[in-house]
Amino acid sequence: MKTATLTIELFSWWHAGSGLGRGGDADALVIRDRDGLPYLPGKTVKGLLRDAVQLAEDHQPAAENQTDLLFGPKDPTTTNAEGTQPDHERPGRDPGQLTVTTATLDPELAAWLRDGGAARQAALFETVSSTALDENGVADAQSLRTIEVCPPLTLTAKVSSPDDGSWVETLRQCAPLIRALGSHRHRGLGRCQVSVTEDPPANGSSTGAVLPDDAKQAGCVWLEIELLSDVILSLSAATTGGHDSLDYLPGSVLLGAAAARLFKQPGFGPEVFLSGKVCFGDGLPLTKTGAPGWPVSLNRQFIKQQGIEGDAINGLTDTKLAAGARTERKEQAQQLRTGHVTEGGTHFELDGDYLLKTALDRETFGRAKDRQLFEYETLPAGTRFRAALRWNHGDSALTAKVAEIVRVLTSPGIALGRSRSAQFGHVNITLAAQSVAEPLALPGGVMANEPDAPKMPLQLYLASDLALAGPGGARLAPVAADFGLSPEWQFRPDRSFLRTRRYSPWNSFHHSRLTERQVITRGSVLTFARADDQPATATELRAVPAKLAGGIGEHREEGLGWVVLNPQFVLTLPDLRKLPRDEPPDPSLPPPTSAPLLAGWVEARQTDRDHQNVALNQGRAWAKKWLPFHEQAAKAERLGRSGRSQWSEVRQRAVRARGDAVELRRLLTEHCDHGLRKRYWQHAERHPALWSELQAALDTAPEKGGALVCAAIAAAAEHLVRTLQQKDDDEPRPQTPKAPATKAQP
C-alpha cells in the first residue's frame, strides 16, 4: 500500500456547499464537521483530481486510459480487453484504484478553533452577497443571494492505492492543473494551489501483525478497529431514501475487507470465507476506558417520566400486580431499544452525523438528478470497536491462513462500509491488547413471582443477530435443539423479549443483492423452561455453553449466532448511568504555530464581534433612555413628524469618526451646538438635554474604549431612527379632500 499527502493551499474566499441555509442570514452554508469546522469532502477532492488527470490525458495521448484506471470508468458497464464480461466481474462502475480521504484542517489549528468555542468558530466564516443582472445590466428584483464563505487556509488529504505503480507521479504532474475549487470558482472564489507528496513507507506495512501464540492455542484473536473517518453502515441495502446506520461493526464488513484482497488467491476461496470455518465476529463499541458495550437487552424497561437513569423494570421478573400499581400511579413503562451498556451499567450511544446527498446524472454532465435526494447516517470518526476472529485451532493449515487474514486486516489502507473509495470508511485495525471476556453468568435464570411464570428457567441473550433455518427457509421461532437443550425444554414466548428484522445484504464482489435474510435481532432475550419445572442438570449446563461456543444458526462466518447463557447484567439489570460528557473546551489554548496569520485574523474578528455585541446592547439601552427626551424636545420645537433626521445625522457622524471618541465629540459639537438645531439638542424643560446625554455617553470613552462608545452611539441612533420610522408609519396621514367633479358641458 502506497500513500501520498495532498496539500491544498487556498488563496481566496471559498465555499464548499452543504445544501443547507440559515433563514435570512445565508442562503447557502459551508459544509461543517460535527465540531463546526469546514472541510472539503473526499468525493469533491477525488472529483478535482479526476478532472485534472482527464485534462492532462486529453492533451497527452500517451497517457490514455490513465483516468479510468485510477478513478474508474465513466461508462456504467465494464468489459475486459476482448470486449466481453468475464466471470465474477462487477457489472457496475468500478471505483478505480485510488482511495481519497476528506481534506481537513491542520490538527493543531483544528484543536485551537474547537477549544475556542462557538464564538471563535463563528469568526472563521463570512457572508458574501450577490444578485442577478437582467439584459440591461440592472439587478433583478428579488434575486439577492447570500452565501457563507471561508477564508484562505490550508487543507490536507490522503490518497492511497494498493497498486505500487506510478500513480503518485501522475498526480504530482496533474495537480497544478487544479486552479480553483468549490462553488462560484468561476467568479473569483476558491483560488488554490494543489501539491502531492509521497509518504514514506509505514513501519511494518510489509509484514503486518504476527498472530500471538495464545491466540493460536485458543483459536480466537481480538482486533481493535479505530475509525479514522466517518463510516457508513446502512441498516438497509436500499439505494434511495433515508439510510439509518447500524450502531456496531457487523462481521460481514471485516469478512469483505479480507476477501477483497485474498479471495482470488489459492486456498482463500469459499472454503475459507464462506464455509463457517473462520468466523468474523461483530465489533462491539468501546468506551474511552476500553470497556466493551453490549447491545441493550430488550427485557429492560424504564419509567418514561424518569428517563433511562430512573427505576429499571425487568420484564423477566415483572408481575401483573406491579404493572397494575404503575398504572394507578400513571407511570408509563417504555422499552429501551437503542444504545449499548457495559456490565457496570454505563449506557452510551454513538453520536453519528447526518449527511444529505444527491445522485448525479452523468448524461447532463454531473448535474443533480431530480427527486434523488437521500440521507446518510454515519458512525463518528474516533470511535473504537473490538471484534473477534474465531477458527478451529486444531487445524494448523487453517491457522496459517488466519494469520494471513490478520496480516491483511492490520495493514494500512483498510476501508469499510459505503463510499469507502472517497471520504468515508477509513479505519485502522490492530491486534487488541486485551480480549473481550464473556459476561459474568448466573448458574440459572430468573423467574417472576407469579403462578404461571416458568420455574427454573434458562435465559439466552443474543449478542448478535441470529438466523435460524427451517424446512421452508428462514425460521423465527427458536426451539430447544438450536441451543443444545433436550426436547423437554420449551420456548416460553410470554417471558421472552425478541424483535426481528429482514434485509438483503449487498455483495460488492458480485455487484448484486443476496437472498433476503430474516433474523432475530441482537439484544433479544429467549427464555426456555421445562414442563415439569425442573432445573437444568450439570450435564446440560456444560453442553449448552459448548454448543454456543461454535455459534448458532446460519451465517456464522459473518458474526451471526453469538449467544450468551444467563448473563448477569441482563438478568439482574444494574442501574444505568449515562456516559459522562467530554471535558469542556479550553479557550486558553495558545494559538497554533502552523497558521499564525489565520489565528491572528480569527482572534481579531472574534474581538470585533464581541465589541459589536456589547456596543449593540449598550446602544439599545441608551436609545430606550433617550427616547422620552427626544419626544419632549421634538414636540416643543415642532420638528414635524418625528424628527428622525436628527438621529440619522448623529449615526453618520458616529460612523465617520471611525472609533475616535475625540473626533466624534468634535463632530457632534459641530452639529448639536450650532444654529437652530441647538434649540432642539439643548432643550431641557422637564428632562435633561439630549446634548448633555450625548456628552455623558462620550465621557465613558476612557473606561469603555473610544471604539466601543462610537459604535454604541451609532447603534443607539440607528435604533431610534427605526423606532421613529415605525411610529411615523403607524400614524394616520391626513386625507386631502377631493375636488368636486364638474359636469361635462354638452
Per residue in 232-250, pLDDT tens? 888 876 666 667 888 999 9
CA atoms of 297 and 57, how far apart (whole Å): 57
User: Does residue 508 have a pLDDT over 80?
Assistant: no
Average pLDDT score over residue span 606-625: 88
Average pLDDT score over residue span 362-389: 81
Between 11-15, 114-118, 336-340, 543-547, the lowest mean confidence (pLDDT) is in 114-118
Say what the pLDDT of residue 296 is: 94
Q: H/E element holding 47? A: helix 42-58
CA angle (349 as vertex; 345, 352 as ends), nearest 5: 165
Q: pLDDT averaged over the chain?
A: 84
Say what the pLDDT of residue 383 is: 92
Between 688 and 436, name the one with better pLDDT: 436
Say what the pLDDT of residue 62 is: 54
User: Does residue 450 have a pLDDT over 50?
Assistant: yes
Residue 74: which pLDDT band, with cuts at 50, 70 and 90?
Answer: low
Between 594 and 541, name the one with better pLDDT: 541
Parallel/antiparallel/unpaired status of strands 577-578 and 506-507: unpaired
Say what the pLDDT of residue 638 is: 72
Average pLDDT score over residue span 265-281: 87
Tell me: the pLDDT tens digits for 16-27?
A: 988 778 777 788
Cα 167 to its chain centre, rounded Å, is 31
One-letter amino acid of 376: Y
Domains of the chain: 2-74+90-198 (3.30.70), 213-294+337-436 (3.30.70), 299-328+438-578 (2.60.40.4350), 596-729 (no CATH)
CA atoms of 410 and 431, how far apart (whole Å): 8
Between 54-68, 258-272, 340-354, 649-663, the lowest mean confidence (pLDDT) is in 54-68
Predicted TM-score (pTM) of the model is 0.81
Say what the pLDDT of residue 583 is: 66
Q: What share of the chain in percent tops pLDDT 70?
A: 90
Say what the pLDDT of residue 530 is: 92
Say what the pLDDT of residue 157 is: 93
| C-alpha cell of residue 735 | 386625507
DSSP per-residue letters across 150-210: B-S-EEEEEEEES--SSHHHHHHHHGGG--B-STTGGGT--BEEEEEEEPPPPTTTTT---
Burial of 376 (0-12, 13-18, 19+ CB in 10 A): buried
Parallel/antiparallel/unpaired status of strands 506-507 and 500-503: unpaired
Q: H/E element holding 374? A: strand 367-377
- Please tell me the chain's helix, strand, coil percentages from 3-state DSSP, rounded to the nearest 5: 30, 25, 45
CA atoms of 416 and 409, how far apart (whole Å): 11
Listed residue (379, 422, 419) closest to 283, CA to CA: 379
User: Does residue 209 have a pLDDT over 70?
Assistant: no
Residue 80: which pLDDT band, with cuts at 50, 70 and 90?
Answer: very low
Q: What is residue 478's DSSP assignment?
A: -
| C-alpha cell of residue 109 | 489549528
CA atoms of 56 and 52, how far apart (whole Å): 6
- Residue 382: count other Cβ atoms within 10 Å of its Cβ: 10
Say what the pLDDT of residue 204 is: 45
Burial of 660 (0-12, 13-18, 19+ CB in 10 A): middle
Of the ranges 64-78, 92-106, 168-182, 254-268, the best mean pLDDT one:
168-182
Between 68-82, 520-534, 595-609, the lowest mean confidence (pLDDT) is in 68-82
Average pLDDT score over residue span 690-715: 85
Residue 740: which pLDDT band, with cuts at 50, 70 and 90?
Answer: low
Average pLDDT score over residue span 402-420: 88
| C-alpha cell of residue 79 | 468489459
Tell me: the pLDDT tens digits for 538-571?
A: 998 999 999 998 899 999 999 999 999 999 999 9
Average pLDDT score over residue span 330-339: 90
User: Does residue 372 have a pLDDT over 80?
Assistant: no
CA atoms of 503 and 517, how far apart (whole Å): 5
Q: What are the CA-CA distances from residue 563 to residues 464, 491, 550, 553 (Å)?
A: 7, 15, 10, 10
Cα 386 to its chain centre, rounded Å, is 21
Average pLDDT score over residue span 505-522: 83
Listed residue (691, 692, 694) closest to 709, CA to CA: 694
Q: Which residues of 587-616 are buried (b: 16+ CB within 10 A; e: fewer)?
A: eeeebbeebeebbebbeebbeeeebeeebb
User: Does residue 82 have a pLDDT over 50?
Assistant: no
Phi, psi torsion values for 415, nearest 5 degrees: -135, 145
User: Does residue 362 have a pLDDT over 50?
Assistant: yes
Say what the pLDDT of residue 311 is: 86
